[in-house]
C-alpha cells in the first residue's frame, strides 16, 4: 500500500477493508445471523472488507483512471460512513452483543483453530506471491505515475491488482482475528531501515516481520495478566503509537525524507 500510494502513512485501512469487515461482523452479531455456523462472522467480515474496498476503488474512478488523492479521499469518506454504521449497530445491540463487537474490534487470536490457520495460510501464500510478482513495477512506481508510464508500467492496472491483493490479505486476516492496529504500518518502516526499499525483499520480509511481531504481541497478551487474555490490538496500538511517533521524529532529522 505504501508503494502504491507513494505515501509512508498508507496502510490497508485507507481503502476501508478493516472498517468494512467490522461493520459486516457487527451486523452478524447484532442480528444474530447464522448462515455458516461458527464460520459466519469470519465469512461476513471477509466479504464486508472486499465489498468496501471495491466500492472505494470504483467510486474513485473517473475517465477510466484513478488518482491517488481521489482514492484516499474516497476511502476517508467511506470510512466515515462505515464508522457511523458501526456506531448505529452498537446502539442497536444488547449488552452481550455490544461487548462481543468491541472485543472483536480490538483483535485477538484467542479463537485460532488449525482449520482457520489452513485457510489463512492459503490466502497469505497466494497474496504474498502475487505481491512479489508486482515488486519490480512497484519499484518503478516510486518514480511517480508519469515516469512509471514512460517505462511501460500500466499504472492503473497495477493499482487495481495491488488493491485486490491487499483486500484479500487483509480481509482474510481481519475475518479471523479482528482489527489489530499498527502492524501493517510500522513493520514495513522497520524492515525498510534494515534491508532497503526494494519491494522484492521488502514484501516477504515485512510479511515475516509482521508475523513475528504478532506472535510476540499475542504471547504478551496471554501472559501480561494472570488468567486474562488481553486484546492484541490494544497492545500493538500502545506500543506502535510511540514507535511510529519516533519514526516521524527520526525522518525529520534525516535529509528531509523517509528512511
Give domain limits for the chain. Answer: 2-179, 182-259
Direct distance between the N- and C-terminal alpha carbons of the chain, in angstroms, rounded to an integer: 17
Q: What is the pLDDT of residue 234?
A: 85
Cβ atoms of residues 174 and 20 within 8 Å? no
Per-residue pLDDT tens digits of the chain, which is 259 residues long: 888 887 777 888 888 899 999 999 999 999 999 988 889 999 999 999 999 999 998 898 887 778 888 888 898 999 999 999 999 999 999 999 999 998 888 888 887 889 889 999 999 999 999 999 999 999 999 888 889 999 999 998 999 899 899 999 999 889 988 888 888 888 998 898 899 989 999 999 999 999 999 999 999 998 988 888 888 988 888 888 887 787 777 767 764 544 4
**Which CATH code fits 2-179?**
1.10.3470.10
Q: What is the pLDDT of residue 259?
A: 43
Question: Coil, strand or helix: which one is 199?
Answer: helix
Helices 232-253 and 183-195: angle between axes, nearest 10 degrees: 40
Closest to 4 in 3D by CA, of 187, 153, 182, 190: 153
User: Can you list the alpha helix ranges (DSSP code H) found in 31-180?
Assistant: 40-59, 68-92, 95-106, 114-133, 135-141, 145-150, 155-177
Residue 10 has phi, psi (to 5 degrees) of: -70, 145
Measured distance CA(76)–CA(72) in Å, rounded: 6
Amino acid at each position: 500500500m505504501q508503494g502504491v500510494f507513494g505515501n509512508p502513512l498508507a496502510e490497508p485501512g485507507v481503502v476501508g477493508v478493516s472498517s468494512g469487515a467490522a461493520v459486516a461482523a457487527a451486523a452478524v452479531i447484532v442480528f444474530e445471523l447464522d448462515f455458516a455456523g461458527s464460520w459466519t462472522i469470519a465469512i461476513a467480515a471477509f466479504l464486508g472488507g472486499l465489498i468496501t474496498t471495491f466500492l472505494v476503488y470504483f467510486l474513485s474512478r473517473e475517465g477510466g483512471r484513478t488518482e491517488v488523492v481521489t482514492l484516499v479521499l474516497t476511502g476517508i469518506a467511506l470510512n466515515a460512513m462505515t464508522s457511523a454504521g458501526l456506531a448505529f449497530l452498537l446502539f442497536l445491540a444488547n449488552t452481550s452483543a455490544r461487548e462481543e463487537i468491541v472485543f472483536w474490534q480490538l483483535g485477538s487470536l484467542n479463537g485460532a483453530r488449525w482449520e482457520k490457520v489452513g485457510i489463512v495460510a492459503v490466502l497469505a501464500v497466494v497474496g504474498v506471491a502475487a505481491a512479489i510478482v508486482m515488486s519490480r513495477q512497484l519499484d518503478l512506481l516510486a518514480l511517480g505515475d508519469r515516469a512509471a508510464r514512460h517505462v511501460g508500467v500500466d499504472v492503473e492496472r497495477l493499482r487495481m491488482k495491488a488493491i485486490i491483493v491487499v483486500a484479500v490479505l487483509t480481509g482474510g486476516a481481519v475475518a479471523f482475528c479482528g482489527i489489530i492496529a499498527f502492524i501493517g504500518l510500522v513493520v514495513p518502516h522497520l524492515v525498510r531501515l534494515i534491508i532497503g526499499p526494494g519491494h522484492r525483499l521488502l514484501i516477504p520480509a515485512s510479511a515475516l516481520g509482521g508475523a513475528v511481531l504478532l506472535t510476540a504481541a499475542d504471547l504478551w497478551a496471554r501472559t501480561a495478566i494472570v488468567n486474562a487474555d488481553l486484546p492484541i490490538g490494544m497492545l500493538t496500538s500502545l506500543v506502535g503509537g510511540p514507535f511510529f511517533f519516533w519514526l516521524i521524529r527520526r525522518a525529520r532529522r534525516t535529509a528531509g525524507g523517509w528512511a
